[in-house]
Structure 1
Amino acid sequence: MSLEKTEIDTLVIGAGQAGIAMSEHLGKLGIPHLVLERKRIAERWRSERWDSLVANGPAWHDRFPGMEFDGFSPDAFVPKEDIADYMVAYAKMVKAPIQTGVEVKRVVRNAGESGFTVETSEGVIQAQRIVAATGPFQCPTIPAIAPKDAGLTQLHSAHYRNPAQLPEGAVLVVGAGSSGVQIADELQRAGKQVYLSVGAHDRPPRAYRGRDFVWWLGVLGEWDAAATKPGKEHVTIAVSGAHGGHTVDFRALGHQGITLVGLTKSFADGVATFDADLADNIAKGDENYLSLLDAADAYIARNGLDLPEEPEARKRLPDPDCVTHPILSLNLAEAGITTIIWATGFTVDYSWLQVNALDAQGKPAHQRGVSTERGVYFLGLPWLSRRGSTFIWGVWHDAKYIADHIATQRKYAAYQAAVPETATV
């Protein structure tokens, strides 16, 4: 469908959870808008995640306020395809004006007049405001240390689908956040010999004293934290909703048969080297785990809650041999490793947004999503306004703030247009 000569007040780019939430709030305020999506609604949930992925939070929590998941209990962990279907249904419910199959190629500010010119694969649009709702998972990142050995299969977690996709042989999974842990576990259960490189991480309990950890972070005010704690800026969270939801326990993974190693340092001549930090990384993850248990116990005592005690939660397995005798170097061929999976995160790409809204590193310059470039907004990014900003419910609240800001700016613009120019003598 051609968009040539289309004019719109607010253009939202991206129809994932951020774009849909933005459309709902703009619609409630009566603000004319259009949402463009280069593929399908919630595409990344469908084609850029592994087959068995489920939500890392329970259905009662990881959803929009206005709709529950149909066919799932509140405590279920919803599979990725059902999450994508939920997004489609929600967009229909809020009557989001979404055009799919349209790629935004370039946005520039108009010279001498308000608004922006937006070049798309289907024509040119004029928009007064731009909301970049493309999220944080745009460009899979594989670090420069990746070996150049043509005999190795290497792929990012965004391109991993299932164990049958991989060649015969052992697998090294680099990165022990939620994605790396779940993929390593799946591969080991499928009969693969798996090595898992574990860096710094937070490791919350899946549940404690009858409440999921997302509830604990809520009542303890952690989701509303406005900034990361010093030293935690790049720390991943090891949590899983797989197999009905369970606490990630690296010692259990080691006893299960996964070989744990420290942070991956380098590759040279077919040999991988690892930092001697495995035990320390696991110990710091334990500290994070125990600190949440302590905070939960204190909250229960302070508020007189009748929740069952759970002494078993503080017990820990003995260290597996791979922790007490860590591997610091590994000959990949001798270990039979034929595949490396990089669960090493993503970077953003706003090369299409050619306005003064990015810092020297190409990252958004904003305050709670309101850009340094007037009329440009960002939505769906980590810590946009709080710790919960990247969650479905969190992005919904961020979208409301941005929609209210847009509504206020429209009122100022309407006043300016209504007041005649002062006559001069």
Structure 2
Amino acid sequence: MANEEIEVLVVGAGQAGVAMSEHLSEGGVPHLVLERDRIAERWRTGRWDSLVANGPAWHDRFPGLEFDDVSPDAFAPKDQVARYFETYAEKIAAPIRCGVEVVSVERHVGRRGFRVETSEGVIDAQFVVAATGPFQRPVIPPIVPDGAVPVQIHSSDYRNPDQLPEGGVLVVGAGSSGVQIADELQRAGREVHLSVGPHDRPPRSYRGRDFCWWLGVLGLWDLETPPAGAEHVTIAVSGARGGHTVNFRALAAQGINLVGRTESYADGVLRFSSDLADNIAAGDANYLALLDEADAWVERNGADLPEEPEARVLGDDPAAVNDPVLELDLAEAGITSIVWATGFATDYSWLKVDALDEHGRPAHRRGVSTEPGIYFVGLPWLSRRGSSFIWGVWHDAKHIAGHITTQRSYLAYDRT
């Protein structure tokens, strides 16, 4: 049986794949999007039940469609985000084929294009766009051995407090996921320890504007590379319960036990770094720096935005900062579960071409890989800071579609 042929094959039908399809269609480029599950499956089943988008609905969307069931300043629940992308795919008539997994991509020998092996046969494609995103392989540091506590799960497998056995919970990771999960568990009556590592801590809003708006007018979404040393620093910001600034002092006052970065385990005892005070201080500095930039912008532009002096009142440090807990006997503390909110690694083992570096990470410039004809979209810092957000993915996809269109024009040239 002859192989199926397509000009551009897009792998993944999340927000990146849907955005790619829109821009390819606008350019008249024949293409197919393959998705092993359903459209936007990560939003459906790869998140906890109460998750909402971290940006307001006016900002976290594609330009061509507003949320019809979420007010502009609200934060869309995960299921509504998934429905949004389904609706968008229908709106643009995206050629998406669900339930098909890509097994391997290899370059043809002696002719252009790639041989793509899928769970339903082989496809020949001139161009391949990897739109599988950054959340492919959950990372749990090999610190606590299996059986040391009844349950150890990654944040991607956490759903709600009832999922965990009775007892205390240690949440490792102080980015958006870790903070929101720890807060939810504590509000459900659990005794919670939260392991806080290095993080950025922007204000949810300031002077009547969401931080997404501030990053826009200050030009910070357009940063092309993260600050030195901050490549893997997490962002602590929350859209939960209507959106609020993450405040570790408030979390401690609420009853969450703060500890430093999780370092090692032996004989039932977990040991933490003494860096809690430094991590909170660095987060505070990041927070105050953004307030300073916002105030300077208001003065420079004569903007009529109300002053908010109370935003600079940080409050007293909790006891955990001044007298940090460096060791914790898990049994004595009654901890029966550990939730690892420790991020993800990419997995491109199916991409058998010269498009990855020695660590298996995409080798690219703005999504254009080192292997001609292979592209990436949907990754953090793909082109700029905004690449991690829904609207940023849309703009990255537009650039990649333009690059493909240009390459097609060269390949179609015939002087005769």
Query: Does TM, scored on the shorter chain, surpass 0.5?
Result: yes
- Amino acid in the other structure paired with 1:96: A
Residues 149 and 335 in structure 2, CA contact (< 8 A), matched pair in contact too: no
Aligned position for 1:423: none
Aligned position for 2:32: 34
Residues 206 and 245 in structure 1, CA contact (< 8 A), matched pair in contact too: yes
Deviation per CA, 1:197-238: give whole Å up to 9, x if none: 000000000000000000000110110000011111111100
SS in 1 for 2:57: coil
Aligned position for 2:195: 197
Aligned position for 2:210: 212
Aligned position for 1:43: 41
State how far apart, in whole Å, the 2-side matches of 1:117 and 1:146 are: 42
Aligned position for 1:291: 289
Aligned position for 1:370: 368
- Amino acid in the other structure paired with 1:419: R
- Amino acid in the other structure paired with 1:245: G
State how far apart, in whole Å, the 1-side matches of 2:396 and 2:222 are: 12
Please say if 1:419 is aligned against 2:405: no
Give, in angstroms, the shift of residue 72 of structure 1. Answer: 1.4
Deviation per CA, 1:259-311: give whole Å up to 9, x if none: 00000000111100001110111011000000000000000000000100101
Please, which of 374, 379, 387 is the counterpart of residue 385 of structure 2? 387
- Amino acid in the other structure paired with 2:362: P
- Amino acid in the other structure paired with 1:183: I
SS in 1 for 2:412: helix
Deviation per CA, 1:372-403: give whole Å up to 9, x if none: 00000000001000000011100100001000
1:70-219 equivalences under 5 Å are 70-219=68-217
Runs of 4+ in 1 over 3 A off after TM superposition: none
- Amino acid in the other structure paired with 1:296: A
SS in 2 for 1:223: helix
Give, in angstroms, the shift of residue 152 of structure 1. Answer: 2.6
Give, in angstroms, the shift of residue 368 of structure 1. Answer: 0.4
State how far apart, in whole Å, the 1-side matches of 2:295 and 2:139 are: 39
SS in 2 for 1:302: helix
Residues 106 and 116 in structure 2, CA contact (< 8 A), matched pair in contact too: yes
Aligned position for 2:348: 350
Deviation per CA, 1:166-188: give whole Å up to 9, x if none: 00000000000000000000000
Give, in angstroms, the shift of residue 149 of structure 1. Answer: 2.7
TM-score (normalizing by structure 2): 0.99
Residues 61 and 391 in structure 2, CA contact (< 8 A), matched pair in contact too: yes
State how far apart, in whole Å, the 1-side matches of 2:390 and 2:191 are: 35
- Amino acid in the other structure paired with 1:62: D
State how far apart, in whole Å, the 2-side matches of 1:90 and 1:200 are: 37
Aligned position for 1:19: 17
Give, in angstroms, the shift of residue 4 of structure 1. Answer: 6.4
State how far apart, in whole Å, the 1-side matches of 2:184 and 2:271 are: 24
Residues 115 and 123 in structure 2, CA contact (< 8 A), matched pair in contact too: yes
SS in 2 for 1:340: strand
What is the CA RMSD across the aligned residues, in angstroms?
Answer: 0.9
- Amino acid in the other structure paired with 2:85: M
Residues 8 and 125 in structure 2, CA contact (< 8 A), matched pair in contact too: yes
SS in 1 for 2:132: coil
Please, which of 401, 404, 407 is the counterpart of residue 405 of structure 2? 407
TM-score (normalizing by structure 1): 0.97
- Amino acid in the other structure paired with 2:93: K
Q: Can you give the 5+ residue segments of structure 2 that lack an aligned partner in the other structure?
A: none
- Amino acid in the other structure paired with 1:350: Y
State how far apart, in whole Å, the 2-side matches of 1:98 and 1:4 are: 21
Residues 20 and 91 in structure 1, CA contact (< 8 A), matched pair in contact too: yes
Q: Rate the CA distance shift 1:297–1:151 in 2: closer, same or farther, 3 A.
A: closer
Aligned position for 1:62: 60
- Amino acid in the other structure paired with 1:263: R
State how far apart, in whole Å, the 2-side matches of 1:26 and 1:260 are: 48
1:327-338 equivalences under 5 Å are 327-338=325-336
Aligned position for 2:234: 236
State how far apart, in whole Å, the 2-side matches of 1:69 and 1:368 are: 28
- Amino acid in the other structure paired with 2:415: V
- Amino acid in the other structure paired with 2:48: W
Give, in angstroms, the shift of residue 151 of structure 1. Answer: 4.0
Residues 4 and 125 in structure 1, CA contact (< 8 A), matched pair in contact too: no
Q: Can you give the 5+ residue segments of structure 1 that lack an aligned partner in the other structure?
A: 421-425
Percentage identity across paired residues of the two chains:
70
SS in 2 for 1:27: helix
Give, in angstroms, the shift of residue 150 of structure 1. Answer: 4.8
